[in-house]
Chain A
Amino acid sequence: MSALLVIDRLRVRYDTRDVLRALSLEVARGELVALMGPSGVGKTTALRAIAALQPFDEGQIVVDGFALAPGPVPPESRLVALRRRVGLVFQAHALFEHLTALDNVTLALRYVLGKRRPEAETLATKLLSELDVGMRAGAWPRQLSGGEAQRVSIARALAPDPALLLMDEPTAALDPARRTALGATLRRLCEQGRGLLVSTHDAEFARAHADRVVSLSPS
């Protein structure tokens, strides 16, 4: 299995404190890797560094051939290839408040992939239906339950068809039944050939659904 994501000795510092020190991991296509560890150990920081939302100090990140180097985050114009490869689902979902669920998903289809509105809406509706939120396409983000908002958020991240999907604490606000359903959904995404890196402190969820677990311990 070829590695989709390779992290090599990643180090992130805030002021003088190491948040991450020498993190190395790989995620292959079709693989679900759980990134585990207690709160504050740097799980979110690792995901943000992979999504080029924050700089890192040492090491290297390579996503499907696209390499990120230590130092400041490059301008967006130089991250176009990375953006097409990586999707991120935020813990707080971060749906665009001024757009309906459907428009949250069509945004990247229309303005990044350049699809016309009808085609974008067909694709977005299909994605929402696959995630069991097709009926909520016309709803505003604030009208959605936590579980619905999470699935719309997954649909939005999947819209540009990224090979690697990062998810930050997806089980934090879910009841056990929803957790199982989410696990099944993520397995389906892996079967489509995507790699998934999921941060969680839910050991049970990790054991049940992840192919591998990478544990972080405080620096």
Chain B
Amino acid sequence: MIVALALCLVTAQQPAPRVLVWGGDAEGGAPFVEADPADPSRVRGFDVEVAERIARGLGGDRHAQFLQVQWSNIDQSVERGDFTLGLSGVEDTPARRARHAVTLPYFEFREVLAVRPADAARIHGLADLRGRRVATLGSTIAYDLLIQARDSTGVLPISYDDDVHPYGDLVSGRVDAVLLDHIIAQRALRRRGGSGFVILDQPVAIGHYVGVLAHRHAILRDSIDAVLREAMRDGSLEQIFRRWNVWDDSQGALFERVLRPGEAAKAAGAATPVQALAYLPSLARAAVVTLLVSVLSMALAVVVGLALASGRVYGSTVVRIATTIYIEIIRGTPLLLQLFVIYYGLAGVVRLPAFLAAVLALGLNYAAYEAEIYRGALEAVPRIQLEAARTLGLSELQILRLVRGPQALRYALAPMTNDFVALLKDSALVSVITVVELTKETAIYATNVGSWVVPGALCAVVYLAMSLPLSRLARRLERRWKTP
């Protein structure tokens, strides 16, 4: 006890290591942040070096410590206090500035369009993409630009959760163009050996990368701004960008503007995000998508589930083994993986539209669970009921249709309703294959207004509005079917 107390005292006397914990998303990859191929426990990239430069500049032997966070959650996490500084291609937007303490812009990027080589001659901007599918990363300035273009020029925005698949889908013809930061576009082109698509010279918009801190850390933000200005002056920031091959003339111009006395740390030419209210129609549209995906998936799950359950209860040994294998594989692997396999994995064989792939993946996944519910329900019908039906001369099929099925349905109704409500919520997963449903649209909305409070509450209300009537309907049916 005394030894432990002494140890505590000794530990307390040692100064804590001075660390600047910064958050970024290594999934974003190079040149921003990526796992170091030589030592995957470490990260590298220009944002990593910017963070280190900032930590050094803050003095006191401070060093930067990386914390992995999903890119779309950087704002929320920094405000929660998970880390002090958010970096890794964080865009400068008025909403972000209003909600958080944002550093001055340290890098200028161009929103550029990528198209297939055959289209390069006739597509020069968003105006030429009326009725065409244009991909981008959700919750970005580029996505806002596409939403605006949807209303003004009629392009069809397709939102992705990552910045790799949009280019793959552009090459394969699933989308007609990609709008993203020039760094991302150039990286994608390099990965494809310089072919498959071309990047249009004329940028659609100009944006800036900034660091983001919690609103309460405005004083620290001012210190970081001072460090960034110093890094621009002494050339260390330029060296970092040159090392990662992202330096160009526009960075020099940005530095000049930032260092000019009296220049506000404001992004030049940043795209104006869509007003918060403008998201309401999108939320309504997304709710319809959620409902459609869920209803169609459930219909598929019921039909396939019935077939699987019948196979398990009535089938030959081979059929029983085959249905059992299907059910165990589907239940034993993540739905997310199944979505990827159906959408991306099968793309070489059959290029399914995203919506159809979503319905197929969800429907086939839930079919395995439905099958087990139906099997249990069929087996729960007392044997004497089946024997009574047999003595009357009904065939096995008639017994299933007239006696066993209707009785089993009553047992299955409650768990089926449960499953449908679960499916309604699981349908949020389909956003990973570009279907923008309610949760995804809410995340986009939340990122752009800089808060989850109103979008989250709205989203919850819409989900409840869909699931509660369903539970009531099921209860009413159960009451009606329950013979007194």
Contacts and interface: CB of A to CB of B under 8 A. Distances in A.
A143 B385 contact: no
B379 interface: no
A169 to B, nearest CB: 14
B394 A108 contact: yes
Interface in B74-99: none
B388 A76 contact: no
Contacts of A156: 388, 392
B402 interface: yes
B80 to A, nearest CB: 54
Contacts of A120: none
A83 interface: yes
B384 A94 contact: yes
A194 to B, nearest CB: 15
A95 B393 CA distance: 15
B245 interface: no
B41 interface: no
A5 B385 CA distance: 25
Interface in A161-175: none
Given A90-B384, A92-B384, A98-B410, A53 B391 contact: yes
B484 to A, nearest CB: 6
Chain B: interface size category: 20 to 34
A96 B393 contact: no
Contact of A98 (B384, B395, B398, B481): B481
A171 to B, nearest CB: 19
Contact of B483 (A88, A112, A141): A141
A53 to B, nearest CB: 5
B394 A53 contact: no
Contacts of B398: 111
Contact of A76 (B396, B402, B410, B483): B396
A133 B268 CA distance: 89
B65 interface: no
A18 to B, nearest CB: 23
A120 B178 CA distance: 68
Nearest to A85: B393
A156 B390 CA distance: 12
Contacts of B410: 98
A86 B392 CA distance: 9
| Overall SS of chain B's interface | helix
Interface string B381-407: 010110111111111101000110011
Interface in A35-82: 51, 53, 76-77, 80
A124 to B, nearest CB: 13
A143 B394 contact: no
Contacts of A51: 391
* Residue from A76, A92, A156 whose CB has the most chain B CB atoms within 10 Å: A76
A92 B387 CA distance: 12
A18 B387 CA distance: 23
A112 B382 CA distance: 22
Given A94-B384, A140-B483, A142-B484, A87 B391 contact: yes
B388 A94 contact: yes
B120 to A, nearest CB: 66
A84 interface: yes
A143 B484 contact: yes
A108 B384 contact: no
A12 B407 CA distance: 32
Contact of B391 (A83, A97, A143): A83
Given A92-B384, A94-B382, A160-B393, 12 more contacts: A76-B396, A83-B391, A84-B393, A86-B391, A88-B388, A90-B387, A94-B384, A97-B385, A98-B407, A98-B410, A143-B484, A160-B392
The 4 closest A-B pairs by CB, nearest first: A83-B393, A140-B483, A94-B388, A108-B392
13 contacts: A51-B391, A53-B391, A88-B388, A90-B388, A94-B382, A94-B388, A98-B406, A98-B410, A107-B402, A108-B394, A111-B402, A112-B392, A157-B391
